[in-house]
Amino acid sequence: MAHKLFNEDILEQLRNGTAKFELVSSAVPSVAATPNRNKSLFGIGNCSTLFFARIGSSFGGQSPAMKKLERFSVQKVTGDGRCLFRALVKGMAYNKGIVLNQREERENADELRMAVKEAVCENEGDRNLYEEALIAITVDEPLKRYCQRIGRSDFWGGESELLVLSKLCKQPIIVYIPEHEHRGGGLGSGFIPIAEYGSEFKKGSSRKAVRLLYSGRNHYDLLL
């Protein structure tokens, strides 16, 4: 029960934008993963998802996170509930030298959302390929309710969808937070990585990672 309450507290912080992050020296489990000594680091038999950060309550001026500080330009994404999916399709298109118009971006974003629904909700035979995502989903709500919600165009994507889409698209994805959010306010124009998905698809491939910026209130933009 204590583990469940702890997860609920963290998820609420992520939803309302009050979560703060600190860098860790070694990988830590997803907030959704249940510890199990007989399984791998994230509790499901593989280490394809790397977490560089965890929720933290306080930060010193010399936080190890600052050693990971990177500089990018921010490409704003429309905040219509599709922002995660919009940012992904926009980033994947950019890596191929393609520029999407607003209609194409919206349609492709909806295709990604429905691809997640098909993988998790409709294709029971392959559902076990996305066990990490299923754990993340069912920590917060029953799978049936999730499958009803994801069919709506204003569905907000997050960790669960990143876990699925990184595998479906064979796409490395890195999520960042703004430097000033790590500091708890004030100045700072850089970005700090907090999680990576699909890292296995970087090996022996020229496929570039898509970099997403997570900033407050569940909004994602694209970093270039």
What's the CA gap between 4 and 34, in Å, rounded? 10
Catalytic position from the list 83, 121, 169, 182: 83
Encode 138-162: b = buried (16+ Cβ within 10 Å), e = exposed: ebbeeeeebeeebeeeebbbbbbbb
Catalytic position from the list 110, 140, 180, 219: 219
Active site residue 121: no
Beta bridge partners of 51: 195
What's the CA gap between 171 and 79, in Å, rounded? 23
Active site residue 80: yes
Catalytic position from the list 3, 47, 80, 126: 80
3-state DSSP helix/strand/coil percent for the chain, to nearest 5? 45, 15, 40
Active site residue 47: no
What's the CA gap between 132 and 129, in Å, rounded? 8
Encode 108-125: b = buried (16+ Cβ within 10 Å), e = exposed: bbbebbebbbebbbeeee
Residues marked active site are found at 80, 83, 219
